[in-house]
Amino acid sequence: MEQKTTYDVALAACDSYLESEVEASLREALEPLGGLSFVKPGMRVAVKVNLVTALKPDAAATVHPSVVCAVVKMLRERHAEVVIGDGPGGLYSASYLRVVYDVCGMKQAEKFGAKLNDDFSVQEAEFPEAVQAKRFPYTAYLGKADVIIDLCKLKTHGMMGMSCAVKNFFGTIPGLKKPEFHYMFPRPEDFANVLVDLYEYSAPRLCICDAVIGMEGNGPAMGSPRKIGCLIAGRNGHMLDAVAAGLIGLTPADVPTLHAAVKRNLLPEDLSSISVFGDPGQFAVPDYQTVPAQGDVFFHVLGNGLPGKIADLIVGRVMTPFPALEDASCVGCGKCAQICPAKAIAMHQGKPRIDRRICIHCFCCQEFCPKGAMKVGQTWIGKLFRKTSAHS
């Protein structure tokens, strides 16, 4: 008897968010991974969606409700109890999440029998095996689930380069606690390890990525929608992220979470060893507008002595991207100053002014600017290096 191939990651074409097409594509993507055979009747399944903030589905910042509904429908067919939730930036409260659920279209999933999370308690999690996040506050509804399914969106990200399966688990930290983690772990390498720790602690059984319409440019909230045309499923979030990154022209060297996963032996250095169902080349977008990689991770290579450390410092300053204000788009709301973990932003004559001496390059201001006025900036040397690298 011929042995059936077991795949790590699967891709299925999906050209629109029509519910019938999404469902058919999702079934196609899950079948090579064994479907939902791990889901048993009565099992409590938490679907951890990406709801970064209250934005309508066509903004491409959040998981589209059609994908959520398809997942819920398939889980309910197996008689599972389904709860949908996230901990986006802002208050982790019923009043705030009610708005987010409504604007993002999550209420559509209720007609298929899902429940929107209304448990806003927080538990203290301990993870001794972690590299960075050995103890952290954790959204309790996930801890009460028998199984977690990671339902993410493929987007660019100012600090991490890309937001996908692993980055989605920063939403397990209650909203107003997030800036604290940025402040405690300002280096991209350390923060990437925090995200990997959160993913490993949560241990989702299945990861599904909405890559029908991704977000490029000023992601993860105020970028531009860009069609990719597929759904991606994986049994391992690091492998799914590696495949997803390839679709938009990124490598593990460009994405700190992937870089960290390789160093921790959670992802093979040779990505060709990942077993993929479907042709990634069919969905690759060569001119996808990505953001620069964080130099803090990738440019400390000039030696351990004093001259090397000085050179590292200079190169790091020159190459590391930074938040930059597009003055014409700014309405002076002050959200950036309120959200900044390092208190590096102050309002001056109705406009934000960034103190570069204490800015930690976390890009919270860029992520949560309601007008997209904060962009990912680079020095002219950094731009030249990136352009040269792209054509080498």
Residues 259 and 230 reside in one and the same domain: yes
pLDDT digits (tens, 9 = 90+) for 274-283: 999 999 999 9
pLDDT at 243: 98
Q: Which candidate, 232, 157, 236, places its Cα nearest to that of 196?
A: 236
Residue 306's CATH number:
3.30.70.20
Residues 154 and 241 reside in one and the same domain: yes
From 230, 251, 282, the end of a domain falls on 282
* Average pLDDT score, the chain: 91
Residues 331 and 214 reside in one and the same domain: no
Residues 145 and 226 reside in one and the same domain: yes
pLDDT digits (tens, 9 = 90+) for 288-332: 999 876 654 554 455 566 665 555 555 555 567 889 999 999 999
pLDDT at 303: 56
The answer to whether residue 306 sits within a structural domain is yes
**Domain of 195?**
9-282
The answer to whether residue 3 sits within a structural domain is no
Residues 272 and 331 reside in one and the same domain: no
Residues 111 and 170 reside in one and the same domain: yes
Residues 243 and 164 reside in one and the same domain: yes
pLDDT digits (tens, 9 = 90+) for 34-84: 999 999 999 999 999 999 999 999 999 999 999 999 999 999 999 999 999
Residues 325 and 200 reside in one and the same domain: no
The answer to whether residue 101 sits within a structural domain is yes
Residue 347 has pLDDT above 90, yes or no: yes
The answer to whether residue 141 sits within a structural domain is yes
pLDDT digits (tens, 9 = 90+) for 199-240: 999 999 999 999 999 999 999 999 999 999 999 999 999 999
How many domains does one find in the chain? 2
Residues 81 and 163 reside in one and the same domain: yes
Band (pLDDT 50/70/90 cuts) for residue 2 is very low
Residues 264 and 341 reside in one and the same domain: no
The answer to whether residue 291 sits within a structural domain is no
Question: If DSSP states are collapsed to H, E and C, what string results for the chain?
Answer: CCCCCCCCEEEEECCCCCHHHHHHHHHHHHHHHCCCCCCCCCCEEEEEECCCCCCCHHHCCCCCHHHHHHHHHHHHHCCCEEEEECCCCCCCCHHHHHHHHHHHCHHHHHHHCCEECCCCCEEEEECCCCCCCCEEEEEHHHHCCCEEEEEEEEEEECCCEEECCCHHHHHHCCHHHHHHHHHHCCCHHHHHHHHHHHHHHHCCCEEEEEEEEEEECCCCCCCEEEEEEEEEEECCHHHHHHHHHHHCCCCCCCCHHHHHHHHCCCCCCCHHHCCEECCHHHCCCCCCCCCCCCHHHHCCCCCCCHHHHHHHHHHHHHHCCEEEECHHHCCCCCHHHHHCCCCCEEEECCEEEECCCCCCCCCHHHHHCCCCCEEEECCHHHHHHHHHHHCC
Residues 236 and 338 reside in one and the same domain: no
Residue 157's CATH number:
3.40.50.11440
Residues 255 and 317 reside in one and the same domain: no
The answer to whether residue 43 sits within a structural domain is yes
